[in-house]
Structure 1
Amino acid sequence: METKTTAHIISHSHWDREWYMPFEKHRYYLVKLIDTLIDLFEKGEDFQSFHLDGQTIILEDYLQIRPSKKDTLRKLILAGKLHIGPWYVLQDAFLTSSEANVRNLLYGLQDAKEYGAVSKLGYFPDTFGIYGQAPQLLQQAGIQTATFGRGVKPTGFNNMVSDAKTFESPYSELTWKSPDGSEVLGILFANWYSNGNEVPVDRDQAKKYWETKLSDAKRYSSTPHLLFMNGCDHQPVQTDMSEAIQVARELFPDVTFIHSNFDDYIETLTQSLPEKLQTITGELRNQRTDGWSTLVNTASARIYLKQMNQECQTLLEKVAEPLAVFSHVVGYEYPRDYLRYAWKMLMENHPHDSICGCSVDEVHREMVTRFEKVNQTASMIVEEKAKEIATLIKTNQLGADVIPMVVFNTTGNTRSVVVEREIEFEKIYFSEMPFSEIPDALRMKEIPALVVVDKDGMELDSSIDELGVAFHYDLPDDGFRRPYYAKKLRVSFVANELPGFGYKTFYLKQQAPKIQHQISNDHFMENQYVHIHIHENGSYSLTDKSTGKVYENLGIYENSGDIGNEYMFRKPDGEVPLTTQNQKAQINMIENNAVRSIIEVVHEWEIPKEADEQFELEKEKLVWHKDRTSGRSTEVVTLRITTHIQLDQKAKGPKVKATIENNAKDHRLRVLFPTDFTTTEHHADSVFEVVTRPNTPEREWENPSFDHHQQAFVSLSDGTNGLTVANKGLHEYEILNENQAIAVTILRASSELGDWGLFPTPEAQCLGTHVAEWMVIPHQGTVVESEAYKEAYDFQVPVITVQTGVHEGSLPADHSFFSWDGKAVAFSSMKLAEERDDVMVRWFNTSNQEQALTATLKNGTSAYKSTIIETTAEPMQTHVNTEIKPYEIVTIGWKVEE
């Protein structure tokens, strides 16, 4: 084994695209950085290479200002001077969806391909914890090594490493394994990604510098190859690096100093590794630490951003892409360029300081605009593709005097749902009558008795309400706009057994409706699955009819002070949280019909207005959140929470929407779901994984809070019964010791960025109106065994309903484009490949057992097993019948009939 020490110095700059300054201000410095690099390389200086922070969006951002430099960049990349990729952005791993993590890698590799070279390194320098399936994703992308700064050893204030009694790995180098068994070499930046920053040229300074740095690096390295990261956040390039290295060589002749890059470093490192490294399996979340610097509470900073992100991700990956595939297989163009545009704009909001909500206010205002643009783009794709398919559906089975409605289900699971849609019952164009006369003419027309029926004429439970007259317009493909007024109805009905990856056609028909009712009153409601009783304090008891299990006091709200920051929640010392346990709520039935019941619960709750006066002094003095001693103000304000508890006819549990009028600062609001189970662990939805986590922390943990990340749901089970709470964009939860309650954060108000300086963020107080949505699903066994996870995933995905005309068509009234089956298998995405027109469908195994997967694409000619980066392989039969390994992520591609 080699014994001579080699110091690999890698020049880089960690580029937070937006953070303590907004994007354009950071970009101003980015352009200077890359201009300086180009000058260095073009002058022929002895400056070997620069790592461009693992994200290709840097190239796009630079070239928007310097478009003439693209060829120059390409030459430098091909020459190995600039190292780019493999990601598009350095996104937060836990707050972006499974598919967003895949697309980030897919688009980053595609961008790098245009320049002719890519750094095949899983680069996570500053990611706030990493999901456990990362090694599997990297392996599928042909990447064998990952580097990261957080998650294994404790990283304390100002990014300094602190020791604990027990390390998960004694070395910076380790084997990182996914639950499915995929492994990569993991390299921890044990002394952070700035441990080789600003190397001195002065000999006296250099001697002290390298004595310390070499000693620190040797402390964690398993080989003589030591890594020194020459750069930090937004760090300008060190232009005298060659001189600094020469001084180091003269001072330390026994050490080989190299201006290196990751490719060369990893190649030499792997040749010197010990035979067996420590293996770390699954998530990297800093669990073996004191718990004060996990940054997990970024999951609840500016929750409105997470909600907008969840809606955009869902629209793109679970609605727009599948609908676009359906449309493509029946002959329409796939909007690949628009989807790529929308995904890339969405990922502009995914860097860790962006989606985490831990930047200055200007950053997050710009994010809202991006989310709105993504939503607009995705919504247009959804609308157009649904209409394209609807025009091909035969809708004249019941005659001409009906209004057809096509309901699309893009989840991949069979669903029975309440559909609500505004219908234009009659419309008059401006060309048909003087426009000033149209509204009155429409209002005078009476609406006849109407029902909703299926393709066989069978009447469905429905509710139909008049909405009055409204203006709208058509935008024909072959003519000028056509304005009109329409008499509108709100039609709600129960759509039973909607096929996965398909649609059903329903009809609004003139007919006297049958007598319909729902079993409910002001304080209880029920359907075939659950019974719900609302208490005077606004909480409710939920009875699972299949098991008889009763869950008491669900939906209590809890409020705590927060003297932390955007990164970390910090409850004041000794504070007992306030709850609505002893509050009297206003309770009213606001909807009760054949398809659903909604009970409204209103709390007018007095809570402290803000933190006390000491808090401002502690922030000014940059007192770390752990050491703050502030309390809450004695002045109170009213927190108004209006909760709608909704039970649909076919729903497995209630859907809840809370509208919060927030007038208070420096606090956290959670909703509690006590289970009274006796269990030591729970399940949560993560990236391509239903992960198992302990209910209590490791012995090193000191933080009174033990919060976690979730994607679509969190679930507790005692093996016999289980309770799952699904959500829309609510990423933070905790399992409380008392009553083994699930606590989900629905609002957090904080006043500063935190970290390395004083950056006030008044808009992070989230004053004003906010809405949070969740669903409570009781079940037998675990969330996986019961397949309650499917209900939780589907909660986030809307069905799409299109009003169409009565016409002939080549497609049947009810249809599924794709069929599949797999126990404990979860659908992830359906899209066309980026560089060919193959249909790519992805699933993952949620269980620790091998599972069978069968799948058939109706228009497919041959199938093949692919990867997350859409590689091709030898074809299989059109009808796929295969096995998925425990926790495996599997992608199948299909050729499509022309």
Structure 2
Amino acid sequence: MACPVQSPERSRGRPAMERTVYVVPHTHWDREWYQPHELFRWRLVRMIDELIEHMEQDAAFRCFNLDGQSIVIADYLELRPENEGRLRALIEAGRIVIGPWWVQPDELLPSAESHIRSFQRGIRFAERMGGCLRVGHCADQFGHIAQMPQIMRQLGLTSACLWRGVPDHVPGWSFWWEAPDGTRIPVLYLRNSYSSGWRLPEQVDDFLERVRRQERDLREGLPALLMNGTDHSRMEPHVPKVLAAAEGRGYRFVLATLAEYERAVLDAGIDDVVLRGELRSPDRSNVLVGVLSSRLYLKQRDFEVTRALERYAEPLELLARLHGGPDGGPALRHAWRLELENTPHDSICGCSVDQVHREMLPRYDRAEQLALQVAREAAGHLLRRIEVPPQGGLGVWRPVSGAPCIIEADVPAGWAQFDALRLPGGAEVPFTLDPAGGGDVLVHEQVSPRGALRHLDFLREQRYDVHAIEAMAWELDDRHLRVTTTVGPDITVVDEADVREAVRRIASEGLADTAEVIVRTSARARLSAVLPSAAAAGLELAVPVNSAIARPRRTPSARRLRNDRFDLRLYGARLAVHDRETGMVLDPACIVVSEGDRGDEYNADILEDGVDEPAAVTLAGTVSTPAWQELRYTLTFDLPARLGRGRKRRSRRERVLQPIDVAVRLWHGLPLVELRLTVENRARDHRLRALVPLPFVPACAVTDNHFHVAVRGLAPVPWNGVSAELPPSTFPQKTFAAAEGNGLGVAVFNRGLPEGEIVDWNGRKALALTLLRCVGWLSRPDLRTRRGGAGPTVATFDSQCPGRHSFAFAIAPYTGGWHDAGIDRLARAWAFPAIGWATNGHEGPLPPFLALVGISGDATLSAAHRSEETGQPLIRVYGGPAAGPVTLEAPALAGWQAARVDLLERNPAGLDGREGSWQLDLRPWEIATIAFREG
């Protein structure tokens, strides 16, 4: 229920010039920032305690907007469960307003799916508590993604309310915001920030002067806004009295919710101004662009965990449930909560005190543990029901269709007798095996025959201690019983009951005098191969075989690699790549550069002192296998150790040697050059980047972003001369960035490295990928790229990112445009590779390929999972730049009814389909969610 608007009768007879001023009491609550979460939560508890007490006693303090996120209520109730009834009553009455987010995340860094899950969880929680705000409140995000208008509209939100990122050519306090698919949403622009009415004066004249300052650029008839709050602010109990005292002095005052202010703005009319796409302008408010690269290890972990959830666990759990498998929903719900708790802007952005970010890492670990376990259990349910030949097989889960992909998996060392994988369609691909250890004896005890039986009684659910059981066997030799259990990572079918019954019979009938039990780990090898493109995401059985397929050529030189497409050589410290298909020569193909950075966690402040020539190069040689070839070497840089005392340049006398191990790999059958770098970071106050110099003059940059691919111009955005922060030259990206010009293109794929830029290098343009940005302060007031502080001036040693870091990226040359070249599909297949589990030979009723979903047409799979609310299967896709007719193939859902739903999984519109195939018609970049029900 919304709280009632102040009666209009009060304003009858007022002069026509009287303006209505909406005063919105609120707080913006960072769960963690310059203090860790629990300390901020304790402040939250005290604040809400005070708020409840006052609102129950003072009806004049009629409403309070408790930020745009529902998790603060859950945080509060964990410590104050006894106050749930009192809080719920105020929410139901519309006096305390919560939602629609679960957490208020950074928009540019977390995954696209995470935003939908945050909104879903936040709206559903708020509705259960008594009501949800339908204004898309984005108080403090450091810029906004292009697709947010479409996301909000599909969630039933009626407007967006935001502050940062709006350019200064927007004249007023409202505008229309348009997503790449054409969806528009009105914006309530917090032109004077979400703190415009914080600490309102108690003296009426001072208060009215404060009000007059809010009228800048307000056209006649538009209401004014005072946001009565700020970060972690408490309520101001005097405000209703001040408003009453000021009434009749040229203004009408309403103590209001954001929803009431929204209605007034919509009634007055949204300004006829349209902004399209991303909002990242610092013209009127800082967007703090350096957070794209602060504490990059957090961005990498976020990528790894959301990949485990979205690409592996959820779709596998869905596929297993469709075949009678276990319910992994509770684990996935909890894993998502842990993941989402790391997505607020002060968390994932890496712009808090060290303790905050130390506490994030266990959350990532716990979420990933659950995701990978659910994926394994789902795969196990399916693999044990697929018929596998005697030599065993590899259950391969492919999350991406339409492009070749890499598989790397642990398999039994005995697979060394084979040289290829046979896929369900009959195709054979060569694989490489590297020894991976194992074969250790964990237990070897002499026991009585009944002792052997007692040992078996402790083996339950195919586990021994922390290990999965791969095989169990018994042997009776000259009245001596030997029981052997092999443990390891494989998913196998083991008849525990049969072994246990045989040992029981031997012991009870006195067939053995002595016995021994042995538990050993299986000998392991690491398999790697390139799988050809598949038509659908799904689980398939790959069987090891001896094949007569021709082997790729071996490497002829210690400094050269050659495969079916690329010639690669290292001369000195310079890596050169010749792409025989496009004719492009990348020379150098990749340069590592260290630059001094005197910035802070919010903004880089780069010195003109780049070091890109290593002091030494150590060649480790080349390796050639049936699946790949690899060149390995170490670059050792002689770097300044830190900034000098004056912070104007890096130290000259204090230096460190910083080694970077480089592995350049050519996969047979993949049109890319993969680089894996391992850095032992010993320097401070610097930015480490990989630069890919371009062999052509680029006309534009192309970046993979949330639910769309953006084409960006290269001309720098001019500074308006007044803003505190310089315009960004870096750009956000998800799985790839590319540069295109003259019919040529070079893409750089990444895994969890979200900052890119087009830069100058030795008279050429280069595509830059940030690997590390190492600074020692949460905020500094003395930067050249931003005037003033962006937070407390607190030293943060961990943000220097000392120690060992690993990075993976790939370079893909192409001709024509990125879409026609399939760069987006190839990038996703590389970023989200196949995973697999070995299994033993056994019978089963299921076929060797279990397809989950295939897409024909210009669309991309975003999610396949079961609804947290109903448990029904859901598939989400989004259109490409052309879109149009799209066919969705989901054979496991044949016979189910399909309906297109909104992002809250409501308002179904039936889809025609049969035999597991459904047709969609999508606008370019349109997001579509399909829900299924049986029958």
TM-score above 0.5, yes or no: yes
Residue segments in structure 1 that go unaligned for 5+ positions in a row: 154-166, 427-446, 616-628
Determine if contact 1:329/1:896 at 8 Å carries over to the other structure: no
Pair 225,713 (structure 1): closer, same or farther in 2 beyond 3 Å: same
What is the letter of the counterpart of residue 852 of structure 1?
P
State which drifts further: 863-872 or 80-89: 863-872
**d(CA) in 1 for partners of 2:739 and 2:110?**
23
**d(CA) in 2 for partners of 1:475 and 1:452?**
35
Q: TM-score, normalised by structure 2?
A: 0.85
1:638-667 deviation per Cα after TM superposition (whole angstroms, max 9, x unaligned): 111111111111211012111111111111
Q: Which residue is 2:773 aligned to?
A: 748
Pair 279,556 (structure 1): closer, same or farther in 2 beyond 3 Å: same
1:857 to 890, 909, 915: 890
| Cα drift, residue 770 of structure 1 | 1.0
State whether structure 2 residue 483 is matched by structure 1 residue 449: no
**d(CA) in 1 for partners of 2:688 and 2:584?**
28
1:395-426 deviation per Cα after TM superposition (whole angstroms, max 9, x unaligned): 13xxx3x1221111122x14434433222458
| Cα drift, residue 243 of structure 1 | 1.9
Instruction: Classify the secondary structure of the residue corresponding to 1:142.
Output: coil
Determine if contact 1:168/1:288 at 8 Å carries over to the other structure: no
Whichever of the two has the greater Rg, that structure is 2
Determine if contact 2:171/2:217 at 8 Å carries over to the other structure: no
Q: Which residue is 1:443 aligned to?
A: none
What is the letter of the counterpart of residue 56 of structure 1?
S
1:780-799 matched pairs, under 5 angstroms: 780-799=815-834
Determine if contact 2:34/2:792 at 8 Å carries over to the other structure: no
Q: Which residue is 1:278 aligned to?
A: 273
Q: Which residue is 2:862 aligned to?
A: 828
1:210-221 matched pairs, under 5 angstroms: 210-220=208-218
2:539 to 503, 508, 513: 503
**d(CA) in 1 for partners of 2:188 and 2:885?**
35
1:70-109 matched pairs, under 5 angstroms: 70-109=84-123
State whether structure 2 residue 38 is matched by structure 1 residue 30: no
Q: Which residue is 1:387 aligned to?
A: 380
State whether structure 2 residue 217 is matched by structure 1 residue 248: no
| Cα drift, residue 529 of structure 1 | 3.2
Determine if contact 2:320/2:326 at 8 Å carries over to the other structure: yes
Pair 226,543 (structure 1): closer, same or farther in 2 beyond 3 Å: same
What is the letter of the counterpart of residue 262 of structure 2?
I
1:140-539 matched pairs, under 5 angstroms: 140-153=154-167, 167-201=168-202, 203=203, 206-220=204-218, 223-249=221-247, 253-273=249-269, 276-286=271-281, 293-396=286-389, 400=390, 402-411=391-400, 413-424=401-412, 449-454=417-422, 460-466=429-435, 467-470=437-440, 476-477=460-461, 481=465, 484-485=519-520, 486-508=522-544, 517-519=553-555, 521-537=557-573, 539=574
Pair 718,896 (structure 1): closer, same or farther in 2 beyond 3 Å: farther
**d(CA) in 1 for partners of 2:564 and 2:808?**
23
**d(CA) in 1 for partners of 2:397 and 2:238?**
62
1:417-469 deviation per Cα after TM superposition (whole angstroms, max 9, x unaligned): 4433222458xxxxxxxxxxxxxxxxxxxx97333442688764223344342
Instruction: Classify the secondary structure of the residue corresponding to 1:644.
Output: strand
**d(CA) in 2 for partners of 1:448 and 1:845?**
44
1:700 to 715, 719, 731: 719
Instruction: Classify the secondary structure of the residue corresponding to 1:843.
Output: strand
**d(CA) in 2 for partners of 1:36 and 1:868?**
36
| Cα drift, residue 718 of structure 1 | 1.1
**d(CA) in 2 for partners of 1:216 and 1:704?**
26
Determine if contact 1:404/1:806 at 8 Å carries over to the other structure: yes
| Cα drift, residue 583 of structure 1 | 5.2
1:567-614 deviation per Cα after TM superposition (whole angstroms, max 9, x unaligned): 000023xx232212x755223335311111121121111111101101
Determine if contact 1:287/1:697 at 8 Å carries over to the other structure: no
Instruction: Classify the secondary structure of the residue corresponding to 1:553.
Output: coil
**Number of positions where the alignment pairs a residue of Structure 1 with one of Structure 2:** 832
Instruction: Classify the secondary structure of the residue corresponding to 1:605.
Output: strand
State whether structure 2 residue 874 is matched by structure 1 residue 870: no
| Cα drift, residue 361 of structure 1 | 0.2
Pair 469,415 (structure 1): closer, same or farther in 2 beyond 3 Å: farther
State whether structure 2 residue 876 is matched by structure 1 residue 842: yes
2:842 to 792, 807, 826: 807
State which drifts further: 883-892 or 311-320: 883-892
**d(CA) in 2 for partners of 1:499 and 1:815?**
12
**d(CA) in 1 for partners of 2:328 and 2:50?**
39
**d(CA) in 2 for partners of 1:35 and 1:8?**
25
Q: Which residue is 1:716 aligned to?
A: 739
1:370-394 deviation per Cα after TM superposition (whole angstroms, max 9, x unaligned): 1111111111111111111101111
**d(CA) in 2 for partners of 1:418 and 1:145?**
43
Pair 448,229 (structure 1): closer, same or farther in 2 beyond 3 Å: closer
Residue segments in structure 2 that go unaligned for 5+ positions in a row: 1-14, 444-457, 470-486, 488-518, 780-789
What is the letter of the counterpart of residue 392 of structure 2?
I
- Taking every aligned residue pair, what percent have the same amino acid on both sides? 27
What is the letter of the counterpart of residue 35 of structure 2?
M
| Cα drift, residue 880 of structure 1 | 1.7
Pair 27,122 (structure 1): closer, same or farther in 2 beyond 3 Å: same
Q: Which residue is 1:892 aligned to?
A: 930
Instruction: Classify the secondary structure of the residue corresponding to 1:740.
Output: strand
Instruction: Classify the secondary structure of the residue corresponding to 2:523.
Output: strand
Q: Which residue is 1:5 aligned to?
A: 19
Pair 750,279 (structure 1): closer, same or farther in 2 beyond 3 Å: same
**d(CA) in 1 for partners of 2:555 and 2:886?**
40
Q: TM-score, normalised by structure 1?
A: 0.88
Q: Which residue is 2:592 aligned to?
A: 557
1:663 to 682, 686, 693: 682
Q: Which residue is 2:453 aligned to?
A: none
**d(CA) in 2 for partners of 1:171 and 1:198?**
24
Instruction: Classify the secondary structure of the residue corresponding to 1:469.
Output: coil
Instruction: Classify the secondary structure of the residue corresponding to 2:587.
Output: strand
| Cα drift, residue 325 of structure 1 | 1.1
